[in-house]
Structure 1
């Protein structure tokens, strides 16, 4: 027995440990997703903030870089233009002596690497002066781009870029030469874009960024990392999405920094020129650091999640550990051991739980002790009950036999009285049924009298209604006759209208003939006559239609008059029949009243018979009721005797069961250790 208890205790402890593991697992299931989601959200927020910050820094760096490039280009152009202006003043100081122009130009040749062909001078007469070693050749002086641009300014200034005879893209610094002669001369120097290309391609501070230069006069690309694009025209329809987007912004004069085709793009106008410098860097390059940072953040977040899970698991185990002792105590209690001592030293909820469990153990000890004592008392009392129930059973059995004999005698007496009462009741019922049928016949006769009276009154009403219908029919015939007379008058009027229309038509025909005789003077009158003729014809047609309709109405009126006369004859015939029916109803009413008097006399005789039968039945029923009461009392006494006998037996049985229950209760209590 003890081994079974130990096995049961071990199984209970094992199940409780499994439940504790499930609680830990549930806590982890609830806590870990929250931690993971929180860390991921924080990582995403950090990555998003870093991404926006990197975009802002890249834009600021790109704008600073492009501004520096534009300043370098402006400084280079200004430096060259100062040199060109100095040379121009030197030539102008010599005067109009054309023989000295070539030597002066030779003196400046080779001193500026940005203008490898040196200076040149063109005149409106088509002459070209250049350095002796210069390879420049211009067949159409006055039609050249640089000459046309130079005619528009006094001081040396840069013009738009163009392609020279050697196929190079150059810009010319030109201006009118004021040497005091009557011949207009233009002095210029071609500047190659090699230096600008170097500034554009190497001046970007950001790694991975590029730039190109655009002339807004004709949207020609002056400098680009891709030499194949230099000299081409920037277009919104370009196959390169970046170039197309840049062209759209430049043409639309929207030079703010923006993102175009996955590139961060900045624009800057070069001061003193019509050029726009465009710098761009792929957003992937900008976000490369952010991507690396995001990966690092996710790695840190993963490590943080693992550490937090370990810490949470440690905390959960520390918190749940004190519950192990309590679960062990509960397991012992389940096995019936109430000798345990519960640890309630903790000052938290677990301590309160232990304290309450200790109180429960003490309460169970006291309860089991009292149950054991009461079980012993119950065993003794059950033995006394068994002895008393045996004595009661013997006495009740003897009383039950005596009551059975008395019951048989009373039963025979009740049967005889009931037969008499049944016969008297049958007689009273027959009389009552006869009286009820008589009452129903009387009620039916009265209802028949009322119905016949109502039928007579209804027939009189029908007769009056037929008279009213006859009068209304006569009035209808008179109204229809009046309508017929009115239709005849309308027919006469329509006939007159037709005659007038015919005469009007003849008059319009005569007027048309007279108008035709009058020639041109009668054309207007002829038109009027024609219209009058059409109107007259229309009136004649309408009159004929109206006449036809009136004839139809007249035929319908005659038909209605005939039907109304037939209805009047039918109404008269029905009126005579209704009068005959009224007389017949009068005769029926008189006969029914006589029958009603006879039925009333019969009802009085039936009432007398019913009274006698009712008295006899009442007396018989009273005797039968008395006999039944005696029989019922006897049966109750017999039943009570049997019940006493059965109760005595039940008491005896219950005493035995009570004794067994006491023994069982004692065995249950003995299982507990207190």
Structure 2
């Protein structure tokens, strides 16, 4: 099966898409649990605008990368070395590229949540923003590790066609455990955060409720005391109706007992006609507090109104005088706002806790920030989500903690009713103060999260290394063994089950090493023996070939010898007859030679006579020479007259000299001829003797040749049998030569295989 068919880079992209969707979903669930659905939805509105383009761009890019990977995989079966090198570079970065881009894409969400939440006031502090961002980053790291892990596994079969490093044993052990531990740590951390956050919120809420109730009690105490004074004045006087004299007396007594917080005391009849302690007459029949007092027949407080007596902003407390079920008069007091504001400031904490006293319809009576006094939450505050937020719910909420933004400042708030004023007292705690304990908790959790992560990573790496290192060494050792290196063994001391594997491996290596030593020694001996056999076979083949060739030559020579013997037998018969004829001729030659000897002797005698004649001629020439000399002397004496005679004498002398010289030459030749004749005579005599002997030998030769002829015929018969035997021997030799050649070829092949075996064995290191 083609290994490339098992590799599907597109699966990695499918896992990427799954994790790409799952990670934001899980992060959204965690943020919903920690922030609440409303706050997270508010942040998500911005995220929905920013995140999709970035995530889509990453997804499209990685989709193109995966398609390219699919194309490369399909072409690997027919790829050349350069294409495979490019494929190695591409797939080596493939898992890292997916993991990194996944982390880059999904880490942006948590960071944006922290930044946007902090800037929008949804997240109260930078500690919380960092914590939420870290939570999301940890989750992105988990999925990045898992994606890298899965990518390496999906591309595992690439190592069968190109150089590709599969997932290491260390990573195979550590990544799932790291992902699991980080996941559990995130769940535990979120749970701890949620529990501690709820606990702190509950504790803070209880504290706010208690503080708010105390503040409400304190805020109404002054009004109640004022009302009590008015009621006491009515009861103490036993009045059944209000008269001008009574009013004057009562007002003077009330004024003496009260400080500057009461602007004026006043009293009036049932129709609303009043007189103040400073003598002013005012009709209040149209005032809401008077109307309410008459209808309810009980004490009533006004909203913030402008005093008709002084023109100052005040709150009016009115106590009815009831007689027989009807109101016959009332006493009242105008309380300045300064007293309410001073009380609000007294119970407030600068820069941390503020109070606002407001009516049920949202009109502010008193506030720590006096610039808010007399303003209406419903009319004067525009809820734009930037400067002001949650104003409407703030006005309506009661005894429930919530968040609000007023003039750009974020608060956690809770309100409690103030029945005397028909309003509410709101306690506002700045969020940085309110969440200070939570921020410390978050900071502690963040440090704890990082510390635990570092410790777990260090511990896990140590454990994984302790497990993976020996296995890695064993794998390396096995790789060396697979490549033929048996020179080393596993030396690390292991105190677990792997020691059994190491011992077994070392034992196997030692056994194989011993076997290889034996095999190497045997191979060397075998190679030496085979070389000797091969050399011997080659020599034998050569000798056999030479022997076959020699036999062929012998057979050919034997055939020729047979033919020669046959011819010799025939020739010997002819020679016998010729020798017999030669013997007869020898007899005749002997007779002739005897005659030649006689003739030669005669020639010798004639030659001697010629020698005597030449001696005589020589003497004559000598005498003539002397005469010519004498004549020359005489001619000289005669002078000019004898000059002609001198010439003749000179010529005669020359002739005499020439004759003497010729005579000497003839004499020399004659003597030589005599010697030759003597020699010839001797030779002829010897020839006669030899011819006699030849004649005798010819007779004997005839007998021998007759015997040779008879033996030749016998030899002919023997040679025929030898020819048959040589022919059979030649056939057998040819067969032996063929067999020897085959054996020599086999020996050479065996020698080559032995050399190859030696080379193969030589690859092993022991």
* Bigger CA radius of gyration: 2
| Larger RCO of the pair (alpha carbons < 8 Å, separation 6+) | 1
| TM-score (structure 1 length as normaliser) | 0.48
The alignment's TM-score, normalised by the length of structure 2, stands at 0.43
